[in-house]
């Protein structure tokens, strides 16, 4: 049975993650702390302070915490975010039910088109990378494919692209659970983007009409148990080094671990150790472009289990996660925000269309 870090009453390892969870250092010092690998950490932000703020000043202080984390690290652990443990647990259970289907049943739902970005992706088909060179990506895929399988789900009312659902009798409650979870994550996305707007000196509702189309992607991920030795070969990983494409990503982890975040100052990778009750939230490329790189789209990867936690196991334990990739409207044109440009900091990027940008990146990623 898989284990979900979000639902455990206490974290199993007191060391590094407990230190993160109990951190009391001020965000004012974060810029200095993250420059050194010895003090680098992903901040923990209590989002209830934003959701339940009693006045604008309190809401602004909370928004500043979120934006400071995104400026300096690009990642944050969001706690008290409003999504219940029971809702997350149910999504993990239904996800596991889906991946237990026979291969031939999943293959009938195969991912087919980057414009749709829906359906089942078998192990080895995707190779996430920063490269945009088709030949280089093909070589990486052949040498060290990502050791995972996934199920991609989009907005279900799309007039052009349809989700690919398993038969209800095969995975009872799967469709209804995922559609509800998709909507729940979108609502949290709206709240977090409101905090980003305030933290960047914009009106709280600045992004409201730029994200309401729900042009998002819910990705269920299953990393099978594989020999640890297979993850120690050059270039291998459960998911290769990459940044995400959209505005924000919400990552729900089980307690196996393996997600690592690159210190943007040193290049060294640090574990994003699962912390119960939190969601890992990170900035994607489009939000970085939108903010003229004021907010960081930080590279990350998924590797094998930590030696400290699992010792010298021969087989890496199976891992599950759920990622909700938040995107601006497909029709949105992303150009530098007015509060993120100046004479000293002119716009770095040409405007891009959300749909065209994401489809191009997906086309590079998949075989």
- pLDDT tens track for 99-129: 999 999 999 999 989 899 999 999 865 544 4
Name which of 198, 155, 160, 129 is nearest 339 in CA terms.
198
Which range (69-78, 173-182, 253-262, 347-356) has the least confidence? 253-262
Which range (16-25, 80-89, 174-183, 228-237) has the least confidence? 16-25
Which range (7-21, 241-255, 325-339) has the least confidence? 7-21
Would you say residue 55 has pLDDT above 50? yes
Which range (8-22, 104-118, 290-304, 308-322) has the least confidence? 8-22
pLDDT confidence band for 352 (50 / 70 / 90): very high
Whole-angstrom distance, CA of residue 92 vs CA of residue 134: 34
Q: E-strand spans in 239-303?
A: 239-242, 248-253, 259-262, 269-271, 278-283, 300-302
Hunting for tokens 């029709």 — which residue is that?
331
* Strand, helix or coil for residue 364: helix
Q: What are phi and psi of 92, to 5 degrees?
A: -65, -40
| DSSP 8-state assignment for residue 6 | G
Q: In the prediction, which pLDDT does 101 show?
A: 98
Would you say residue 342 has pLDDT above 80? yes
Would you say residue 5 has pLDDT above 80? no
Q: In the prediction, which pLDDT does 191 show?
A: 98
Q: In the prediction, which pLDDT does 277 show?
A: 94
Average pLDDT over the chain reads 86
Would you say residue 155 has pLDDT above 70? yes
Q: In the prediction, which pLDDT does 2 show?
A: 46
Q: For the residues 281-296, what does the mean pLDDT come to?
A: 98
Q: In the prediction, which pLDDT does 307 show?
A: 57
Question: What's the Cα-to-Cα distance from 1 to each of 4, 91, 318, rounded to whole Å?
Answer: 10, 14, 10
Reported as type and span, the H/E element at residue 217 is strand 217-223
Q: In the prediction, which pLDDT does 225 show?
A: 84
- Rounded to two decimals, what is the model's pTM? 0.87
- CATH number, position 350: 2.60.120.330
Q: What are phi and psi of 328, to 5 degrees?
A: -65, 170
Q: In the prediction, which pLDDT does 1 show?
A: 45
Portion of the chain with pLDDT greater than 70, in percent: 81
Which range is most confident: 29-43, 126-140, 165-179, 214-228? 165-179
Would you say residue 311 has pLDDT above 70? no
- pLDDT tens track for 207-266: 999 999 999 999 999 998 877 776 665 555 667 888 999 999 999 999 888 899 999 999
Whole-angstrom distance, CA of residue 155 vs CA of residue 64: 31
Q: In the prediction, which pLDDT does 227 show?
A: 76
pLDDT confidence band for 364 (50 / 70 / 90): confident
Which range is most confident: 85-94, 115-124, 314-323? 85-94
Q: In the prediction, which pLDDT does 228 show?
A: 73
Would you say residue 89 has pLDDT above 50? yes
For 289, the domain range is 5-365
What are the residues whose beta carbons fall under 8 Å from the beta carbon of 271, sequence distance 6 or more? 16, 257, 258, 259, 260, 261, 306
Residue 203 and residue 244 in contact, taking contact as beta carbons nearer than 8 Å: no
Number of domains in the chain: 1
Question: What's the Cα-to-Cα distance from 115 to each of 149, 155, 341, 366, rounded to whole Å?
Answer: 19, 13, 32, 12
Q: For the residues 42-68, what does the mean pLDDT come to?
A: 96
Whole-angstrom distance, CA of residue 64 vs CA of residue 195: 8
């Amino acid at each position: 049975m898989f284990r979900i870090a979000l639902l455990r009453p206490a974290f199993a390892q007191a060391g590094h993650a407990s230190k993160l969870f109990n951190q009391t250092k001020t965000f004012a010092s974060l810029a200095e702390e993250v420059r050194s690998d010895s003090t680098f950490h992903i901040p923990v932000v209590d989002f209830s302070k934003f959701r339940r703020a009693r006045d604008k000043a309190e809401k602004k202080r909370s928004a500043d915490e979120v934006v400071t984390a995104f400026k300096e690290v690009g990642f944050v652990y969001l706690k008290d975010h409003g999504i219940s443990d029971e809702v997350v647990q149910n999504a993990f259970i239904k996800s596991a039910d889906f991946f237990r289907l026979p291969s031939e049943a999943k293959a009938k739902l195969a991912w087919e088109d980057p414009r749709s970005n829906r359906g089942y992706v078998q192990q080895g088909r995707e190779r996430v990378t920063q490269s945009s060179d088709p030949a280089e990506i093909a070589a990486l895929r052949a040498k060290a494919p990502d050791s995972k399988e996934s199920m991609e789900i989009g907005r279900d009312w799309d007039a052009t692209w349809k989700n690919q659902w398993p038969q209800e009798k095969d995975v009872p409650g799967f469709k209804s659970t995922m559609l509800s979870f998709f909507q729940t994550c979108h609502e949290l996305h709206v709240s977090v983007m409101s905090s980003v707007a305030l933290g960047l000196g914009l009106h709280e509702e600045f992004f409201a009409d730029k994200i309401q189309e729900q042009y998002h992607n819910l990705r269920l991920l299953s990393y099978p148990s594989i020999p640890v030795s297979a993850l120690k070969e050059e270039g291998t990983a459960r998911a290769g080094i990459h940044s995400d494409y959209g505005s924000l990503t919400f990552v729900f982890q089980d307690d196996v671990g393996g997600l690592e975040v690159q210190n943007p100052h040193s290049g060294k990778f640090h574990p994003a150790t699962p912390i119960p009750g939190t969601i890992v939230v990170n900035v994607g490329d489009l939000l970085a472009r939108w903010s003229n790189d004021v907010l960081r789209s930080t590279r990350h990867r998924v590797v094998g289990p930590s030696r400290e936690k699992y010792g010298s196991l021969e087989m890496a334990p199976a891992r599950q996660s759920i990622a909700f990739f938040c995107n601006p409207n497909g029709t949105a044109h992303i150009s530098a925000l007015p509060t993120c440009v100046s004479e000293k900091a002119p716009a770095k990027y040409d405007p891009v269309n959300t749909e065209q940008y994401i489809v191009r990146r997906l086309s590079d990623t998949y075989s």
